[in-house]
Every structure is written in C-alpha cells, then in structure tokens.
Amino acid sequence: MSDASEPLVRFESVQKSYDGEILVVKDFNLDVAKGEFVTMLGPSGSGKTTCLMMLAGFEPATHGEIYLEGVPINNVPPHKRGIGMVFQNYALFPHMTVAENLAFPLEVRGMGKSEISEKVNRALDMVRLGGFGDRRPAQLSGGQQQRVAVSRALVFEPSLVLMDEPLGALDKNLREEMQYEIKHIHENLQVTLVYVTHDQSEALTMSDRIAVFDDGIVQQLASPSDLYEKPDNAFVAGFIGENNRLYGEVKEVTGDYCQVELEGGGGMVKALNVNTGGVGSRTTLSLRPERSTIGVAKEQSTNSLEAKVEELIYLGDHIRSRVSLSGNNEFIVKVPNSHGHVHLKEGEITQIGWEADDCRALDA
C-alpha cells in the first residue's frame, strides 16, 4: 500500500518532555504512508500515547516537527488538522443522541441538514447500528458505543484516523470481534490509521506495520511477521510473543552466525548473529518456544542440550513443557499434541534441540 511517494504523516526527530527534566519521547521518527495501518505498541509509559497526542495536536512537541501531507503542523490547532480520533473511553457526548454525536463534526463544518442526515445514516449502517440513532450513548452496550465512536471519527471523511487504545474497555470476545471490524473498515475505506495499544495480539492482528515503543524510543519498526520472527533486540523479542532467553558470551563470529558459550554451563551453541557487540560481549539468545524440539538425538539438530522436565501443562492442542536447561528453569517448549508425539514425565531428563537460524543472538 505504500505506493505514495510522499508519506501522509512524518515525525521528524520529535522529542517530548512534560517537566523539562525527563524526555518521555526521546527521538521519534516515523513515516506513515497513505492507506497504511500503523500501530504504536508498547508498555504503559513508553511514550506511544504521547506521540499520538502530539499528532492529534493536544500536546505540543518539545522539539522536532510533525508533517501532515508534507505540511508542518506543529502550530496548527487540533480542530484545524482534520484528523479523526477514537478515544480510549470513546468520549461519546452523553447529552447527545447517537445521531447527534455523529452529526456534530458535520454541523461544525457547516454542512446542510439533508446531507448531514444522509451521511449519519450511512455511517450508522456501516457499523450495523441502523436503528440506534435516537438512543443516548449510555443506552448502548460497550461494543455498540465503540462502533459509534469509530463511525463518528470516520463520518467527516478524514484522511487520517487515530485510535488510542479503543478496545481496552471491552471484554475479550468483543475485543477480537472489533479487531476484525476495524481492520475491515480500514480495508474498505482505504483510510490511513494510526493505532495505539499495549496489547501485542491486537497489534499483530490488525497492523501493516508496528512501531514497538519502550523508554521513549522506537525499538523496532517492522511488519508483524518480522517483529515476531526477526526481533532486533531483546526487548522486542520479549515483548512480542513468548520467548525463551539464554545468556552467554560471544566466542566466535563466522559470517551471519556466532558461537556463544552459555552462562549456565550448557556449553557452546550456534546462533544467528543479529545484534551483538562482537566477540567477548555478553548476549541474550532469543528462541521461540515452538521452534525448539524435545527429545531429539544430539546429531539430528545443530544445537542440542540436556534438559530436565520441571512441569507439564496440558492445553489440548499442545502440551506446555517447562524444562530447566543450562541453569534456566523457565525454558518453555511447546509439544504439539500430534499423533505419536513424545510422552514426557516430570523429572525426566531429555534433549532439547533447535536450529541456529531460529536462535537469535541479541543485545544483553
């Protein structure tokens, strides 16, 4: 979708501080192409919402410039930016009906009555709330309020829509349903969406690209699959999905690979050299639980370590096995509940093996 030569939104070395002492956003650079769905993901306090608020115009950037369609907008007040926004608690005006809420952005733009009612009806139909125009927001369920909030942010046809943890207040089932709904709306309307969440599965489900925030900087900006399979650093590896980590020292680097001596006395392992400080530096090895196999013979796998089974949890489709390996007793292996899978017992000693390509040597 990033066919447009000029990005719709551009953050250029943006910094933000509230108190003049601590930088909440340290150096933020991001280009969002037209029609793209970009998610800012990170733990609370990582600066992601602040970036969204700066884009919406509710917080001034302390340093740096934000461009919208090539125009710097630092000095444009929020109501002139023409950006649709969905708030965490929907911010539906409680004293107006649903239809009045939707009509509000159109009225302040001086649109005619008939045009307004036509657009409002179309917007309500889009989110399957056709007969709900006369209700007050308080008379709607959480999911319905959510859909009204989304359609209100879209009804005046902004080119950019921001969403600030819009699904945070919904229960799990509804949240998943709404994820698909928002994704479909995005696809159908070809609108550019910048989405903020702390929920990684939400980000992985919906986004074209995800910016992972921590400590005021973007740790990695990549597609969902790249984030999961090729994390750049230990934080991203730990934040996105489940992750086994082993610590060690880099002993030798050959091409894309390196040899690492594990700290827990597990011996040498071969890993993909992604983000280490070179020979002699400490490193974190990151390994997805589903990429290691249990009970393989030493010679069948590049890396193979002896492990003791600590705990087995039956989860239906797979058996979650916690083993201790090289001094790490939180090492997780997922054993698929397939025909003829290995049967383990707690306390048993077994072999865990993995390929060098699945094991990424990252920063310590």
In the complex, which residues of this chain contact another protein (CB under 8 A)? 56-58, 77-85, 87-89, 91, 93-95, 104-105, 108-109, 152-153, 156, 162
Q: At its nearest, how many Å lie between another protein and the CB of residue 67?
A: 18
Residue pair 209/223 in contact by the 8 Å Cβ criterion: yes
Helix axes 142-154, 113-126, angle to 10 degrees: 130
Closest CA to 84 of 123, 45, 125, 29: 123
Nearer to another protein, 42 or 137 (CB): 137
| Angle 126-132-138 from CA coordinates, rounded to 5° | 115
DSSP state of 356: G
Q: At its nearest, how many Å lie between another protein and the CB of residue 360?
A: 40
Residue pair 275/362 in contact by the 8 Å Cβ criterion: yes
Nearer to another protein, 105 or 248 (CB): 105
**Residue 226 backbone phi and psi in degrees, to 5:** -65, -40
Q: At its nearest, how many Å lie between another protein and the CB of residue 107?
A: 9
CA distance 351 to 223: 34
Strands 303-314 and 318-325: antiparallel
Nearer to another protein, 88 or 121 (CB): 88
Strands 71-72 and 63-68: antiparallel
**Residue 96 backbone phi and psi in degrees, to 5:** -115, 155
Helix axes 113-126, 98-107, angle to 10 degrees: 130
Nearer to another protein, 50 or 200 (CB): 50
Nearer to another protein, 133 or 248 (CB): 133
Q: At its nearest, how many Å lie between another protein and the CB of residue 153?
A: 8
Nearer to another protein, 156 or 247 (CB): 156
Here the tokens at position 221 are 């900006």
Nearer to another protein, 116 or 269 (CB): 116
Q: At its nearest, how many Å lie between another protein and the CB of residue 351?
A: 55
Q: At its nearest, how many Å lie between another protein and the CB of residue 160?
A: 11
Half-sphere exposure of 124 (CA within 13 A, CB side): 20
Here the tokens at position 351 are 């072999």
Residue pair 58/36 in contact by the 8 Å Cβ criterion: no
CA distance 195 to 52: 8
Q: At its nearest, how many Å lie between another protein and the CB of residue 109?
A: 6
Nearer to another protein, 87 or 247 (CB): 87
Q: Where do runs of H (alpha helix) occur along 138-240?
A: 142-154, 172-189, 200-206, 224-229, 234-239
Element (DSSP H or E) covering residue 114? helix 113-126
Q: At its nearest, how many Å lie between another protein and the CB of residue 276?
A: 44
Nearer to another protein, 109 or 343 (CB): 109
Q: At its nearest, how many Å lie between another protein and the CB of residue 162?
A: 8
